[in-house]
Amino acid sequence: MNGLSAAERSMKATWLRGLSRRRWADMAAEVGNVLAESHVRGRRMYLREGATLADISAYHEKARQLVSQALTTVESTYQNVERRHGDDMTAILYLLFFDEDDGNMRFIPRGIPAAISRRATRFDIPMASARRALEIVSEDDDARSLVRTIPRRSVIRAQDAVRRAVNLGIAEAGMTAGLAYGRGETSEGDDGLRFPLWEIREQMDSRTRGNPTGLYPHDGFHWQVSGYINTMAEIVRQGCVPPCGINCRASLFPVSDRRAQTLGLLDSSGRVDHAAVRAYNGERQGFIDRGQYPDPMFR
């Protein structure tokens, strides 16, 4: 934006922010639809009927909150960068944020990525300003956060929301009728496939929090709680519908009657033996009772 007056620079910066806000508004609507569809997908895993979601307003409100939170963080960080480097630099930083990815970031030491060059040309930003902006990104923590950390953090929050929508759909199915198409081993009852008990199953790898030999051995107890079994009503009551922490990858899986009987979790009449369930869970229940799972402050 070299050669522009201060008023023109201010007008362009205001226009860029308006463009950003319109983009975020469109994104909020899109995310709301994704969350609602994810809830339906969870229901369809285990319900023969009722595949449509009557009220999706809660998911659109959640999407609005997610997008608003991200936009607030962007604005705050943008202002910090602007105070240090001025409109000339922050305009291109905003453009970088729009669709930045790690692939583009890897090219920063070598010059201007083609996508950034095209955007700079489109918005009449001189290449000298673009080059200087890329230098700022590599040197300034706030600028780097604006184009790299904030998008990544927003993606994680969105992924958590999608996982929760799917698992809430599963929870709704589990509490509504207990009918299912049957993922895993099942037993047939008069009213279809019945799952009185459900399991919280984490992805057990080096990234799972609490794994004693993993990357995060002291950052939670997801590794220790994996395999927890209870009724869906109890899982919901305890607030344990996944995700149970930031970027938690746990899912809800049905426990068939046959497996529940083998584990001794049903009484002679086929009803859930709650004392047996608590004994089976052992210390897993303790982590939940002590407020160590889900991760404290996650909700």
Sheet holding 228-230, edge to edge: 228-230, 197-201, 251-255
More confident residue, 187 or 134: 134
The residue assigned the tokens 């709301």 is 32
More confident residue, 283 or 173: 283
E strand spans, 153-239: 188-189, 192-193, 197-201, 228-230
Dump pLDDT digits (tens) for 255-294: 988 899 999 999 998 889 999 999 999 999 999 999 999 9
* Maximum mean pLDDT: which of 78-82, 89-93, 254-258, 261-265: 261-265
Give the number of other Cβ atoms within 10 Å of residue 10's Cβ: 12
Measured distance CA(43)–CA(165) in Å, rounded: 10
Percent of the residues in the chain that have a pLDDT greater than 90, as a whole number: 34
Measured distance CA(50)–CA(81) in Å, rounded: 50
Q: What is the SS3 assignment for 188?
A: strand
Measured distance CA(4)–CA(120) in Å, rounded: 15
Q: Report whether pLDDT(91) > 80.
A: no
Given a contact cutoff of 8 angstroms between Cβ atoms, the answer to whether 225 and 293 are in contact is: yes
Q: Report whether pLDDT(186) > 80.
A: no
pLDDT at residue number 13: 61
* Maximum mean pLDDT: which of 28-42, 61-75, 188-202, 217-231: 217-231
Q: Return the structure tokens found at 166.
A: 């799917």
Q: Return the structure tokens found at 184.
A: 């895993």
Q: Report whether pLDDT(155) > 90.
A: no
